[in-house]
Amino acid sequence: MAFITKITSQQKNAERYKVYLDAGKGEEFGFGVDEHTLIKYGLAKGKELSDLDVAEICSGDQVRKAYNSALNFLSYRMRSGAEIREHLEKKEFAAEVIQEVLHQLEHSDLVNDHQFADAYTRTQWQTSGKGPDVIRQELIKKGIAPLDIEQALSLYAHEEQRDAAMVHAEKFLKKNHGVSSFQVRKKLEQLLVRKGFSFNLTSEILQSLEYGNDQEQEKEALVRQANKVISKYNKGNDLKYRQKMKQYLYRKGFSIELIEEYLNSPEDFIHE
């Protein structure tokens, strides 16, 4: 058994207190607590504490500290249970303390993975236009259970996915001039899949858009690409020049027929 000999506030944190004990060997520092724990356990000078009492108080204080840290972490935005756990682990709280804090947060509905998944999904498609595949991977990283993920993604209707994908496609087409129709289609397809949209929806978007250049635009795009390498390939050997130019322009998605036409009569093409 030990008796509390004095209680003083901590210099660096006035909301924390130092409790000193005398277990028969003179006064020694016992433990630190906050005001809530001080009041909860009725700690005062002269109070007698057993080893079990001290252990319970210290454990309760750790839970209190971890709980406050979690609340501060939650004050910025909603968090998943796994995010709270990771945050507290970085703060080096014991596993049993973290589990108790999560239990309290879930009981008070401050942490709810189902609600988190719903809110996160809505935010990501409405503000960032992310597709469901990307959102799914992000929710997995945040520790959300598969059932909660699929239920949240079910809110993301096909029409809304299509609208979001179309916004990305239209922005892309405005910025991508001077490349072949083949390259436009290829890059746009890669973009939409990278944004998290399914291959089926991507195909649907591609079929609905008029993304192909007309003949004059295709010629202009070819010239624009060719001008980038003319000085590099045109070293006086016409045969090598034609071979290298053919290979380069073909890789850029232009048809062999159009490339031949350009190499045979470049003056007929649009020049920048």
Residues 203 and 264 in one domain: no
Task: Report whether 83 contacts 142 (CB < 8 A).
Answer: yes
The 8-class DSSP code of residue 28 comes to E
pLDDT value, residue 214:
64
pLDDT value, residue 270:
58
Residues 58 and 70 in one domain: yes
Residues 116 and 53 in one domain: no
pLDDT value, residue 154:
95
pLDDT value, residue 213:
56
The CATH number linked to 32 is: 1.10.10.10
Residues 6 and 103 in one domain: yes
CA nearest neighbour of 263 among 272, 244, 235: 244
Residue position matching structure tokens 């309290």: 104
Residues 80 and 9 in one domain: yes
Residues 23 and 84 in one domain: yes
pTM more than 0.85 = no
Sequential DSSP letters for 166-225: HHHHHHHHHH--SS-HHHHHHHHHHHHHHTT--HHHHHHHHHHS--S--HHHHHHHHHHH
pLDDT value, residue 210:
63
Sequential DSSP letters for 31-99: EEEEHHHHHHTT--TT-EE-HHHHHHHHHHHHHHHHHHHHHHHHTTS---HHHHHHHHHHTT--HHHHH
Residues 91 and 55 in one domain: yes
Residues 163 and 78 in one domain: no
The one-digit pLDDT tens for each residue of the chain (272 residues) are: 888 999 998 888 888 899 999 988 889 999 999 888 899 899 999 999 999 999 999 999 999 999 999 999 999 999 999 999 999 999 999 999 999 999 999 999 999 999 999 999 999 999 999 999 999 999 999 999 999 999 999 999 999 999 999 999 988 888 876 677 788 888 899 999 999 999 999 999 988 876 555 677 778 788 888 888 888 888 777 888 888 888 888 788 788 888 888 888 887 775 54
CA nearest neighbour of 213 among 225, 228, 195, 198: 225
pLDDT value, residue 49:
93
Residues 10 and 103 in one domain: yes
Residues 63 and 149 in one domain: no
Q: Rounded distance, CA 108 to CA 22, Å?
A: 39
pLDDT value, residue 189:
92
Residues 227 and 165 in one domain: no
Domain count, the chain: 4
What range does the domain containing 193 cover? 157-212
Q: Rounded distance, CA 14 to CA 34, Å?
A: 9
Q: Rounded distance, CA 189 to CA 169, Å?
A: 9
- Give me the half-sphere count of Cα atoms (radius 13 Å) on the Cβ side of residue 155: 18
Domain boundary among the residues 49, 82, 107 is at: 107
pLDDT value, residue 14:
80
Q: Which tokens sit at 77?
A: 């935005």
Residues 100 and 134 in one domain: no
